[in-house]
Amino acid sequence: MTSRPHDALFRATFEHPSHAGSLLRSALPRELAALIDWSRLRPAANELVSSSLGERRTDLLFSTALEGPGAGDGARVVYLHIEHQSRVDTTMPLRVLGYRVRIWERHRKRHGGALPPVFCVVLSHAAKGWTGPRSLVELFPEPVRTLAPIAAHLPRCPLIVEDLGRRADAELRARHAHPLPALTLWLLRDARSPERLVHRLLDWRDQIIALLDYDHGERDLAQLLRYVALVGSEMDFEEFHRFVAHHIPEVEAMTMTIAEQLCREALQRGREQGQREGQREGRLEGQREGRAVGFEEGRSQVLVQMLDFKFGPPTVPWTERLRRCESTSVEALIQRILTATSAEEVFADG
């Protein structure tokens, strides 16, 4: 899991159409959900290129079709977009509109024809709930949007916000047949609060154990435990581990493995950081030494020019005589040349 654990857990769970379908079906208005053929839900490429050639990636994008006659017709295609937010973004309706426009542009380029509906669900686990705007029209000044002649021409583009802060545990469990999406939503909502996490852990014990009976259950549970470790502090995870060991011994060993793995990764990051700092220090030291050597060589060249000017061409090259005077600094030789009457007085030590 990456340095963005919320996004990593969200994507790992809901990139699978079956899990995304259960989330979307429960979040969309019932009348809208009833019109969608959930058996045809498929991932859609979510890299959307803007007119400035800057790539923007939606969190998760799926395509399907409407139920009923002609459901196989391309004219009945529907896009469903899930955008994950761990905190409130007051520009969310504008961002989503940008995504919609690029989805439409790409669809028209590839398929032509009419524009397909695009519905966006914002999955929020902001600490204090979703307090941001829920439609594009809310971004316009209130005096403007309340004037009927103007308001009639303002785009609304409503968001469908699934606010986990408003969902009870029982709702999360009832909406998802598979334990993984329900456990994921619970942890996205509660894992940042150690007290709330431990307080509700026993209520989720059955789902945790049930997950182990599914295909890839151990991998999925390890992913959930790793998320808990990453979003909490070391002390928080130690408390969580003790509670798990006492109340859910079936997964205690896995919890310990995650803790040990994270310790190893932390040590490795420390070593790599130390190596980078050592290399940087080495480069700086090398630069300092190089400057010093270059400076000394420059002074030696000045000394040779002064010797030539004062005493004329030598019988033995000045550079050779300089090498013989290693015990005498260039600075001292320069001072001597100012008062010396012969080269032998300058090189008295060599």
Return d(Cα 99, Cα 124) in angstroms, integer.
18
Burial class of residue 163 in the structure, from the number of CB atoms within 10 Å of its CB (0-12 exposed, 13-18 middle, 19+ buried): middle
pLDDT band for position 241 (cuts 50, 70, 90): confident
- pLDDT above 70 covers what percent of the chain? 69
Bin 48: left if φ > 0, else alpha if -120 < ψ < 50, else beta: beta
The DSSP bridge pattern shows strands 118-124 and 160-163 to be parallel
Residue 306 has pLDDT above 50, yes or no: yes
pLDDT digits (tens, 9 = 90+) for 74-127: 668 999 999 999 999 999 999 999 999 999 999 999 888 889 999 999 999 999
> What dihedral angle (degrees, nearest 10) is formed by the CA atoms of 335, 338, 341, 345?
10
Task: Give the pLDDT of residue 267.
Answer: 47
Return d(Cα 164, Cα 184) in angstroms, integer.
11
Orientation of helix 252-311 relative to helix 330-339, angle to 10°: 20
pLDDT digits (tens, 9 = 90+) for 34-60: 999 999 999 997 655 444 444 455 589
Residue partners of 115: CB distance under 8 A and separation at least 6: 104, 107, 108
Name 82's bridge partners: 60, 121
Local structure of 162: helix, strand or coil: strand
